[in-house]
Amino acid sequence: SIASADMDLNQLEAFLTAQTKKQGGITSDQAAVIAKFWKNHRTSIHESLINQSRWDNVLKNMNWRVDLKSQLRHIDQINTPVAIVEMEVGKNGQ
């Protein structure tokens, strides 16, 4: 929960306080250890989560347009917008 929310120190303190007050929750000593660990490793944990959730490919370019149909068999389909999207993907760092 702490890592996925990328909690700042105030949020962390509130979260850990709530966990210590919960029935079957953590002790205040455990909360202190978790807080110290999070303070020391927050950046590296956050970067690791971002890298794990990223695809191998990245978006390099994107073009789009909206077309309106002007000739169709059925009159109710005229002027119906159609979005056309072109995306160029490539390997990360290339």
Residues 35-55 have pLDDT tens digits of: 999 999 999 998 888 877 777
- Are 66 and 82 in contact by the 8 Å Cβ rule? The answer is yes
- Lowest mean pLDDT: which of 15-19, 61-65, 81-85? 81-85
Name every residue whose Cβ is closer than 8 Å to that of residue 30 and which is 6 or more positions away in sequence: none
Is the pLDDT higher at 69 or at 16? 16
Q: Model pTM?
A: 0.55
Cα–Cα distance for residue pair 12/2, rounded to 1 Å: 7
